[in-house]
Amino acid sequence: MQKITDNVYAETGFRGCNPGFVITTEGVVMIDTPQLPTDAIRWRDEIAKHGSVRYLINTDLDVVYTDDIAGLLSGCAVKEA
């Protein structure tokens, strides 16, 4: 995970996925999710240090990844736009 600016983080080392998140005054906006459960847990724990996930933007929603999303957001309220 790389800190791009004070409020922007990104991961470019994952194969097939480049998740990131932006910290806002209203909470965290996550862009994509890690594919492996171990990576998703690590990301969830890191994001928790910065606030609650308010929004999740998936740029490529594939059925294969729904378990990862569920694991990452367990306990979070999810609202469809």
Sequence spans of domains, the chain: 36-81
- List average pLDDT for each run of 10 residues in the chain, which is 81 residues long: 94 85 94 85 89 86 54 51 48
CB 19 within 8 A of CB 32: yes
Which pLDDT score is estimated for 27? 93
Query: What does pTM read for this prediction?
Result: 0.71
Which pLDDT score is estimated for 21? 95
Strands (E), 1-81: 2-5, 8-10, 20-24, 27-31, 53-57
